[in-house]
């Protein structure tokens, strides 16, 4: 197994990046806080928020032919181009909705309505937005629902298990890129190519909401028909979800103003500010890439930037687990259990899934909070977590989800508090 990177960003880059986020060291009330809850909504980039505000001030409709209107229309065009470039998608369509869940439901139901009756394959660790869309569509449109089981050790779904549910009657396969609860990642290239080999007609839909902020996506190497992202999990804003759709999926009959192109998924007045804001996120990723390789084309910078983010997050995860010469890591504490990470190795997202043998997970979250660290307990009592936790054999876990702008001091403070909890 390849070793996880242990080198953090150089200090000058780290400082430059940290300055670009709101509330990195303190909360809204000005109280000191380390925000390790980014899987519930990531720290915000100032530039993404400022751009949204700047463009939102403009009253003009983007579908007019004068200068200001054209300028904000260009924001939409550029934003769509940036989303495609982030995913390295050729052609196809960009769709927008209020939430990532809504756009996921739309993609899955459109495919389910338009394809002949067959089966829909999903997994036990999908977020409810895709799982429920598959279940709903199966019930409404007469497909059989098939659910691939998760492996309890890795918190991911093995390819063989997924493939065992796919046959010539499979119409849709829905796969999460990275679980927002276990942190288990699926190799998109390997999985989608294998699904496509098994059934080249199946529509493949991917939930990249958790994966996109943490790893490079390259659709040119994958077989994907629909994939969604959520800016608020990727340093941007709530209130919007984006998707890329292949031409095949995009041109299936769907809700559309009928005078517009067959593949158009825009319905109603566009919001240029959402696209302009997202372009700032892509600019930021490029800025990281540029630090390492200098000026070059935007996709190359995105690749470098995302790969560097991933390396930094591996270093954070490594320190969380193994500590340093001066502080013990979570793995060295006798009352702490870390799930999934060991089996996943470098295929573990920056999510530490912990349980404690001496204290309830909810109590542990309280103690973290009292010590100015925000984490979250995923509990089976929540409909967002129940099925997923049960499928990996747990009823609760403490989810710790930093992002790449956190540094070794943040990690060490977390470890200091974890030791207090361990000794309670
Ligand atoms: C993996 C994953 N998919 C989809 C979603 C749905 O996002 P939203 O609630 O914004 O629709 C989430 C949100 O937590 C998520 O973590």
Same domain, 326 and 252: no
Residues 6+ apart with CB under 8 A from 388: 124, 125, 126, 150, 179, 181, 182
Residue-number span of the structural domain to which 141 is assigned: 50-281
Q: Could you tell me the CATH number of the domain that includes residue 407?
A: 3.90.1150.10
- Separation of CA 128 and ligand 1 centre (Å): 8
- Separation of CA 221 and ligand 1 centre (Å): 24
In the prediction, which pLDDT does 257 show?
97
Q: Does the pLDDT value for residue 1 go beyond 60?
A: no
Given a contact cutoff of 8 angstroms between Cβ atoms, the answer to whether 285 and 234 are in contact is no
How much is the mean pLDDT over the chain? 97
Q: Model confidence over 31-56: pLDDT tens digits? A: 999 999 999 999 999 999 999 999 99
Q: Where does ligand 1 bind, in terms of residues with CB under 6 Å?
A: 99-101, 127, 129, 176, 180, 207, 209-210, 230, 241
Last residue of a domain, one of 281, 300, 335: 281
Q: Does the pLDDT value for residue 14 go beyond 80?
A: yes
146 in a structural domain = yes
In the prediction, which pLDDT does 379 show?
86
Same domain, 213 and 115: yes
Same domain, 174 and 267: yes
In the prediction, which pLDDT does 424 show?
95
For ligand 1, what atom is nearest to the CA of residue 40? 14
The residue whose CA is least distant from atom 9 of ligand 1 is: 101
289 in a structural domain = no
Express as a percent the part of the chain with pLDDT over 90. 98
Question: What value does the mean pLDDT take over residues 298-311?
Answer: 98
Last residue of a domain, one of 225, 257, 281: 281
If one counts the domains in the chain, the total is: 2
247 in a structural domain = yes
Q: Does the pLDDT value for residue 2 go beyond 90?
A: no
82 in a structural domain = yes
Same domain, 392 and 356: yes
Q: Model confidence over 265-297: pLDDT tens digits? A: 999 999 999 999 999 999 999 999 999 999 999
236 in a structural domain = yes
The residue whose CA is least distant from atom 7 of ligand 1 is: 100
In the prediction, which pLDDT does 280 show?
98
Same domain, 172 and 193: yes
Same domain, 194 and 262: yes
Q: Model confidence over 229-260: pLDDT tens digits? A: 999 999 999 999 999 999 999 999 999 999 99
Q: Does the pLDDT value for residue 220 go beyond 90?
A: yes
In the prediction, which pLDDT does 211 show?
98
232 in a structural domain = yes
Alpha carbon distance, N-terminus to C-terminus of the chain: 35
Same domain, 335 and 211: no
Last residue of a domain, one of 281, 305, 335: 281
Q: Give me 339's structure tokens.
A: 């799930």
Q: How confident is the model at residue 408 (pLDDT cuts 50, 70, 90)?
A: very high
Same domain, 219 and 194: yes
Q: Model confidence over 182-212: pLDDT tens digits? A: 999 999 999 999 999 999 999 999 999 999 9
89 in a structural domain = yes
Same domain, 356 and 250: no
Same domain, 219 and 320: no
305 in a structural domain = no
Same domain, 39 and 54: no
Same domain, 343 and 245: no
Question: What value does the mean pLDDT take over residues 167-193?
Answer: 98
Q: Model confidence over 94-115: pLDDT tens digits? A: 999 999 999 999 999 999 999 9
- Separation of CA 26 and ligand 1 centre (Å): 25
Which of 247-256, 290-299, 325-334, 379-388 has the least mean pLDDT? 379-388
């Amino acid at each position: 197994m390849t070793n996880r990177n242990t080198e953090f960003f150089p200090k000058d880059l780290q400082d430059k990046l940290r300055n670009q986020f709101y509330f990195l060291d303190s909360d809204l009330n000005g109280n000191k806080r380390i925000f390790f809850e980014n899987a519930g909504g990531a720290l915000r980039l100032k530039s993404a928020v400022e751009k949204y505000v700047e463009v939102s001030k403009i009253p003009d409709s983007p579908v007019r032919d004068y200068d200001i209107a054209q300028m904000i229309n260009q924001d939409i065009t550029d934003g769509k181009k940036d989303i495609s470039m982030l995913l390295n998608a050729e052609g196809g369509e960009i769709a927008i909705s209020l939430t990532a869940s809504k756009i996921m439901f739309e993609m899955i139901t459109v495919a389910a309505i338009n394809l002949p009756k067959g089966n829909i394959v999903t997994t036990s660790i999908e977020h409810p937005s895709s799982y429920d869309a598959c279940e709903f569509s199966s019930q409404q449109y007469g497909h059989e629902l098939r659910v691939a089981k998760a492996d309890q050790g890795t918190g991911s779904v093995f390819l063989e298990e997924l493939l065992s549910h796919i046959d010539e009657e499979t119409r849709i396969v829905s796969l999460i890129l990275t679980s927002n609860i276990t942190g288990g990642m699926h190799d998109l290239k390997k999985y989608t190519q294998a699904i496509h080999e098994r059934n080249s007609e199946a529509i493949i839909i991917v939930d990249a909401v958790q994966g996109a902020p943490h790893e490079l996506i390259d659709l040119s190497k994958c077989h994907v028909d629909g994939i969604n992202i959520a800016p608020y999990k990727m340093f941007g804003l709530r209130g919007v979800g984006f998707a890329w759709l292949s031409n095949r999926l995009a041109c299936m009959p769907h809700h559309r103003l009928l005078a517009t192109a067959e593949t158009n998924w825009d319905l109603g007045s566009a919001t240029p500010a959402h696209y302009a804001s997202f372009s700032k996120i892509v600019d930021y990723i490029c800025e990281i890439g540029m630090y390492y390789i200098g000026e070059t084309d935007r996709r190359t910078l995105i690749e470098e930037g995302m790969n560097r983010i991933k390396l930094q997050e591996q270093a954070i995860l490594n320190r969380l687990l193994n500590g340093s010469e001066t502080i013990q890591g979570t793995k060295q504490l006798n009352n702490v259990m870390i799930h999934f990470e060991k089996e996943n190795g470098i295929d573990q997202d920056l999510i530490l899934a912990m349980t404690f043998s001496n204290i309830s997970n909810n109590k542990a979250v309280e103690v973290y909070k009292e010590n100015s660290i925000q984490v979250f307990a995923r509990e089976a009592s929540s409909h967002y977590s129940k099925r997923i936790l049960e499928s990996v054999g747990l009823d609760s876990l403490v989810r710790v989800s930093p992002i790449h702008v956190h540094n070794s001091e943040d990690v060490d403070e977390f470890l200091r508090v974890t030791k207090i909890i361990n000794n309670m």
